[in-house]
Amino acid sequence: MINNIFPKIHKEGHKFIAISVILSFVGLSFSKIIGLIFIILTIWIYYFFRDPDRVSINQDKFFVSPADGIVSSIMNVSGPKELGLEEKTFTRISIFMNVFNCHVNRTPVTGIIEEIFYKPGKFVNASLDKASEENERNFYKIKTKGREEQIIVVQIAGLIARRIVCEVQEKQEVGQGERIGMIRFGSRVDIYFNNRKTLVKKGQNVIAGESLIAED
């Protein structure tokens, strides 16, 4: 119950919360209104950087959502050229995270991180399709444990986002729903896969590590 009301905070949020608390005390020394504004900001920052535990289904036949948010698009596209997969066709599910969503990202399936590739870029609205080509991105190529297929998870920075955080390494084994990183302040996550049945629809809300988005 307590964890639901006061979830644990991702380490990326500690300094922001500390700064906001200090500003709240300083603001209160000048004006109750200014202090109240910073107190509300502190609460929002705490809420933004929440890192709640999630319970995954732990079945290789399913993929779980890599992010909290809304499914903004589902389409067949060429694979990321950054990983040399532009000649292959994938199903791509895009999940848009607004500033009120939990921004901790998770792996959709149990497997091994084969490759991580960071691509600097712009900071256009992450809900736009061109963000997949133009924005700052971080790519994860994951080989699944069961069928040894390759899936791609891409963190995409957004209009407000200015930092992509990666918390795993190449050749690292990861479990389904395990944390792989986060993106600060509004962004998007794409997942590319083949030969799976999609279980979500455009406009559907999903929860990282728990919502089923595809099955064998």
Known active-site residue 187: yes
Strand order in 179-183's β-sheet?
A: 104-106, 179-183, 164-166
**Could you tell me if 43 and 70 lie in one domain?**
no
Candidates 24, 72, 132, 187; catalytic one: 187
**Could you tell me if 176 and 119 lie in one domain?**
yes
The domain that holds 176 is classified in CATH as 2.70.70.10
For residue range 88-110, list pLDDT tens digits in order: 999 999 999 888 888 899 999 99
Q: Is residue 115 part of a domain?
A: yes
* CA distances in angstroms from 129 to 77, 93, 156, 188, 189, listed in the order given: 11, 11, 11, 10, 12
**Could you tell me if 77 and 153 lie in one domain?**
yes
**Could you tell me if 123 and 209 lie in one domain?**
yes
Most confident listed range (5-9, 160-164, 205-209): 205-209
Q: Is residue 53 part of a domain?
A: no
Tell me, what's the pLDDT at 10? 77
For residue range 70-90, list pLDDT tens digits in order: 999 999 999 999 999 999 999
Amino acid at 138: N
Is the confidence at residue 1, as pLDDT, over 60? no
Q: Is residue 131 part of a domain?
A: yes
Calculate what percentage of the chain has a pLDDT beyond 70: 90
Is the confidence at residue 2, as pLDDT, over 60? no
Tell me, what's the pLDDT at 30? 86
Q: Tell me the pTM.
A: 0.85
Structural domain range at position 127: 62-215
**Could you tell me if 115 and 142 lie in one domain?**
yes
**Could you tell me if 114 and 33 lie in one domain?**
no
**Could you tell me if 117 and 198 lie in one domain?**
yes
